[in-house]
Amino acid sequence: MALQATENAIIRASLNNESTILKRSGQHVGFDFRHVRYLLESLTKKAQLDTGLIDPWCVEILQTFNGLEPEKKTTAELKQILINVTNSYPEIANLIQTYDHNFEHTLHEQQDLDQLVYRLHQKDQTIANENANKDSNIFNTQRDLTAGLVGKTTGLKLLPKAVAKAHLKGDLHYHDLDYHPYAPMTNCCLIDFEEMLSHGFKIGNAEVESPHSIQTATAQISQIIANVASSQYGGCSVDRIDELLAPFAKKNYDKNLELAQEWVAKADRTQFAKERTKKEIYDAMQSLEYEINTLFTSNGQTPFTSVGFGLGTNWFEREIQKAILKIRIEGLGIEKRTAIFPKLIFTIKKGINFTPTDPNYDIKQLALTCSTRRMYPDILNYDKIVELTGSFKVPMGCRSFLQSFKDQDGNEITSGRMNLGVVTLNLPRLALRSQQDQAYFWQLFEDKLELAKEALCYRIARCKEAVPKNAPILYQSGAFGIRLSDTQAVDEVFKNKRATISLGYIGLYEVATVFYGPDWEQNPKAKQFTLDIVKKMDRATTLWSEQYGYHFSVYATPSESLTDRFCRLDQERFGLVPSITDKAYYTNSFHYDVRKQPTPFEKLDFEKDYPVYSSGGFIHYCEYPILKHNPKALEAVWDYAYSRVGYLGTNTPIDRCFACGFEGEFAPTERGFECPTCHNHDPKKCEVVKRTCGYLGNPQARPMVHGRHKEITARKKHV
């Protein structure tokens, strides 16, 4: 009877909103008694007491709280009631009394630099391998990782207390805490290369004028990328590089035609100029490939760089496209290794390269060959990107998409825009906490959604505290499109929805598994539940955008290390839950369970509905067997994807052993990957390439966190 009375009271108080409570932030919110019950369950378990005590406590606490005057219904008063009711059991009362103190202590422990630095130098993989693009053996990377620990500890102190607490507990993740808010840096961007190459720019002591050849233009692009990457913490992209560089290739052609006037017979002059220009285009693009892969920024890594191309149709644009693909197919160095950067993104558009009658269909075939051998390029489907985001552009970095934005004159602006950061919700935790009660899940969800908004608003506010001189390449030399004076506010390039700020999510698969079991993908009710989650996020961010004037977007988080962190924290809290925490990873965003084997077509049909509500960042992948001898199979998937998804990556085995000559897929082990023929795992004598998240990675050379390794090894082929 007591249990029934308690449950009835809980339902009335929680679902009918009979009471509100005043939080320390000054907000009045609906009083959900299940939070109290959950706390008592956790503390009773920790104190190893009989759980039969909980129901009588709940009845007394609820009756006492409901008997208070409205102005006295505060979190402080509720805490005191809990202490009074549980006073007969000092171990519980003391835990409640010290609840906030324990948080402060946890915060202090997280900020113990001596301990963190020791863990870094002991190669604690949660610190040393958090970013698979950083080689923690190298001095300047070690310096950056150490500086990042300082940034994190300082950043936690700067964050709003509730946000810092939620981050430490794993309710949400405040991304890139090693850089922001310690410094008011921005995240990823689409650099306005056209503005910079047309009008010149300044880096350090050098005033750089507009280039007069494609060789100089590509050299300047690499210089700009290096400087931009050192002034922000996210990826950067070159949009439509074939069209961007074509005018500079034309300058080469004109010079070569002039040269031909003097040295070549009249009938052969045009052909001479074309052949010479073609060679110069190839050399320039090869130099760009090598320069990007040999760059080392101030944050100890190769810049996360993406290059978009595919829409140009004139001779210069076509030659640039072909050069990009041929160079990537050729590979780097004597061993012809696969280039990890830049990420290549090839755009497919009907009328340009989709069908055999289109003028650039031959380049599509070259792109298919490149993907089967090097995994890049990924593809963008032009019409679908316009449908999802309002206009065409490549993503910023690996997957962050800008939405349509027009200036005061009505011109569509894409380049020169940026993202101000990401905060990701731990959705599987909310599902686990709900104990299969969907009404309770939605209440928890709304609560964390408000907290995420507070975190995102803080990100914006902190970014606005920068001054143009903090990052001249971004704010004064044209990378962000608008050149600001020393005294102008950086908000000029952020406000009016010019910048995006992203609400991320992870683990829709695990959420639905809590409520519908691990094989829910064919259950329409289960899928609709997951779609309702991203719909609610989309609706919330739309309201926030109108309220604050920045474009809040829903972002399918790539979660390179977060897939490990959230699951690890929840495993400690909930134990080994089948198909949820026992895997050692959470599934990226909306993706189909990687352990299953739908066909590529089934996978795309399943996933295509989610980016409609998370157009701020998304990508789809399909896992294939070796494709080198069957590019037509890949083309069938590309063609099928055209009207269904906007952005698609290719995952296919391209590992190579230089010791025995094996080519194919290396075998996973606990320490990484090894050749299945000779068991070689020396990164100097083999090449292992896997898709880490949006970007490719070399896990043998630069190891990744445990959860990501487990997720990669769990992936099944879609055939």
Residue among 508, 564, 500 at smallest CA distance from 531: 508
CA–CA distance, 282 with 278 (Å, rounded to integer)? 6
Do 352 and 311 form a contact (C-beta atoms < 8 A)? yes
Residue type, 204: G
445's tokens: 């969800």
What Rg value do the Cα atoms of the chain yield, rounded?
27
CA–CA distance, 568 with 582 (Å, rounded to integer)? 9
Burial of 331 (0-12, 13-18, 19+ CB in 10 A): middle
Q: Which residues, including other chains, have CB under 8 Å from residue 618's CB and lie 6 or more apart?
A: 388, 399, 401, 556, 589, 590, 610, 611, 646, 647
571's tokens: 């495993």
Cα 64 to Cα 9, 80, 392, 706, distances in angstroms: 12, 11, 59, 47
CA 62 to chain centre: 43
- Give the other-Cβ count within 10 Å of 535's Cβ: 16
Report the half-sphere exposure of 660 (CA within 13 A, side-chain side): 14
Torsion of CA 118, 123, 127, 133, to 10 degrees: 140
β-sheet bridge partners, residue 30: 20
CA–CA distance, 674 with 624 (Å, rounded to integer)? 20
CA 403 to chain centre: 17
Cα 204 to Cα 223, 228, 229, 680, distances in angstroms: 11, 12, 15, 45
CA–CA distance, 405 with 397 (Å, rounded to integer)? 19
Q: Tell me the Ramachandran region of residue 481: left when phi exceeds 0, alpha when psi lies from -120 to 50, beta otherwise.
A: left
Residue type, 277: T
CA–CA distance, 33 with 11 (Å, rounded to integer)? 8
Catalytic residues: 187-188, 396, 398, 400, 419, 555, 560, 694
Residue among 5, 88, 83, 102 at smallest CA distance from 40: 83
CA–CA distance, 514 with 494 (Å, rounded to integer)? 39
DSSP string for residues in 487-514: TS-GGGGTTTTTSEEEEEEE-HHHHHHH
DSSP string for residues in 638-676: HHHHTTT-SEEEEE---EEETTT--EE-PEEETTEEE-T
Place of tokens 């993503």: 395
CA–CA distance, 312 with 323 (Å, rounded to integer)? 13
Do 379 and 635 form a contact (C-beta atoms < 8 A)? no
β-sheet bridge partners, residue 412: 406
Residue type, 305: T
CA 59 to chain centre: 45
